[in-house]
Amino acid sequence: MSHQFHPTVLREYDIRGIIGETLGPDDARAIGRGFATLLKRAGGNRVAVGYDGRVSSPTLEHALVEGLNASGCDVVRIGLGPTPMLYFAEASAEDVDGGIQITGSHNPANYNGFKMVFQGRPFFGADILKIGEMAAAGDWDDGSGTHESRDVEDAYIDALMKPFDGLSAGEMDKLSSLRIGWDAGNGAAGPCLGKLVARLPGEHFTLFTEVDGNFPNHHPDPTEEKNLADLKTLVAEKNLDFGVAFDGDGDRIGAIDGTGRVIWGDQLLMIYAEDLLKYLPGATIIADVKASRALYDSVAKNGGEPLMWKTGHSLIKSKMKETGSPLAGEMSGHVFFADQYYGYDDALYGGVRLILASARLGKSVTDLRSAMPDMINTPEMRFQVDESRKFAVIDEVKARLADSTDDVNDTDGVRVTSDDGWWLLRASNTQDVLVARAESDSEAGLERLMGQIDDQLAASGLERGPQAGH
């Protein structure tokens, strides 16, 4: 028996497709067979499985469990919940060797997919390609595993509350005056959020905590400002201190301050880092190549070691393990806490740490946001390029910049820093697009940087032209 996946489904960081078109129960079963076979061969035996609130998720979960069992792995089913709850189930249980979350993340309602952890490490890139090769060859071990249900939600909420344990009565008192808004976006984090805010100090107002895989109120992607409109209204109407929003599976955080200004992923990381470096001086803080120069400067100014790394949650997690970094983040709102936590990206925990950072630094979130330098930057620009050309174009740009007097960083694509600021050009690992971004402290500087991007594209026979969607 063998299985062929649709060519678009096996991606760099996860497995993802459109239900009924490129992804279905047979794919889920094949993923289970391949993952279980690899885990058994590596000496593992038990896999935790969770799923998000999409309409298609229960069907995929059933087929995935069948596949895992058919290749001899036992399954711990944790049910509906955010991706970080699945990560928690895998990281905290001694009897679990791997984890799979069925989730379409921040994608439209007709998408779904799989995020995986293998013996405590991210499962991505070559691992995912291996699942495809094994399916095509029918290279699966046979067995008969068991499955059981396990309720981990309360233990997960306990873990989210743990950072408050060390606070004095006076500090907890200070937190009791906080008033915070939360937007779960009808995503999988809703039920956990309800339980969390019932235990948090302060007064809390929640939006869209009912799980609804059709996302009737707004699309659950907090990195797009239009999706924060309801949260902004709530914060303004109730005169709240700040607001927090989640994506569809609760591993990416978005935030606004008390005046409704967006606090982007790299700006959140600035706040978390300033707090952490007070008690872990000299720590390495990792951010992706799309992050603002203001972040790297802030980390250095506060006594930390800033490290620029490749975009992609799996790549960042791997680099954290390698360097022993206690904190990392991406522009996309993935923030990873290994300090007092497990090292994975968890937006609910990110909300807790934002409350604590504000308290420990003795400043409101609005004041922390106001203290940041006003940089002028472009949104992330994506434009179509033939799959066969996208990495070649980046190589051509690198070659042309070999003798440049500007600072050229080729960690992930090309990031060029000059007196005007910086610009970035990189190939997406998941789509046939090039991604560009630029940042300056003046409009004129930004204009010049954009001109440099256009010049490089033109030299490779491309133009910025129409932008591709996510």
Residue pLDDT, tens place only, 102-141: 999 888 899 999 999 999 998 999 999 999 999 999 999 9
Asked if residue 302 lies in contact with residue 419, where contact means CB atoms within 8 angstroms, the answer is no
Nearest Cα neighbor of 250 from 196, 202, 291, 308 is 196
Judge if 307 and 402 occupy the same domain.
no
Judge if 264 and 404 occupy the same domain.
no
Judge if 380 and 361 occupy the same domain.
no
- Residue 465: the pLDDT is 62
Asked if residue 184 lies in contact with residue 193, where contact means CB atoms within 8 angstroms, the answer is yes
**At 429, is the pLDDT very low, low, confident or very high (cuts 50, 70, 90)?**
confident
List the Cα angle 307/429/400 in 5-degree steps: 70
- Residue 220: the pLDDT is 92
Residue pLDDT, tens place only, 217-243: 999 999 999 999 999 999 999 999 999
Answer yes or no: is pLDDT of 466 > 70.
Answer: no
List the CATH number of the domain containing 439.
3.30.310.50
Judge if 289 and 437 occupy the same domain.
no
**At 257, is the pLDDT very low, low, confident or very high (cuts 50, 70, 90)?**
very high
Domain's final residue, options 338, 353, 370: 370
Q: What are phi and psi of 243, to 5 degrees?
A: -135, 150
Task: Work out the percent of the chain whose per-residue pLDDT is above 90.
Answer: 86
Please state whether the predicted TM-score (pTM) of the whole model is above 0.85. yes
- Residue 467: the pLDDT is 55
Distance between CA atoms of 44 and 214, rounded to whole angstroms?
36
Q: How many domains does the chain have?
A: 3
Burial of 454-470, coded b for 16+ CB within 10 Å and e otherwise, reads eebbeebebeeeeebee
Judge if 195 and 323 occupy the same domain.
yes
Answer yes or no: is pLDDT of 12 > 90.
Answer: no
Residue pLDDT, tens place only, 390-407: 999 999 999 999 999 999
- Residue 431: the pLDDT is 78
Nearest Cα neighbor of 305 from 321, 322, 281, 288 is 281
Whether residue 7 lies inside any domain: the answer is no
Task: Work out the percent of the chain whose per-residue pLDDT is above 70.
Answer: 99
Judge if 391 and 335 occupy the same domain.
no
Asked if residue 338 lies in contact with residue 320, where contact means CB atoms within 8 angstroms, the answer is yes
Mean pLDDT of the chain: 94
Residue pLDDT, tens place only, 259-308: 999 999 999 999 999 999 999 999 999 999 999 999 999 999 999 999 99
Whether residue 469 lies inside any domain: the answer is no
Residue pLDDT, tens place only, 48-57: 999 999 999 9
Give the catalytic positions in this structure. Answer: 105
Domain's final residue, options 318, 350, 370: 370
- Residue 262: the pLDDT is 96
Residue pLDDT, tens place only, 154-176: 999 999 999 999 887 877 788 99
Judge if 399 and 314 occupy the same domain.
no
Judge if 220 and 333 occupy the same domain.
yes
Judge if 200 and 347 occupy the same domain.
yes
- Residue 469: the pLDDT is 45
List the CATH number of the domain containing 77.
3.40.120.10
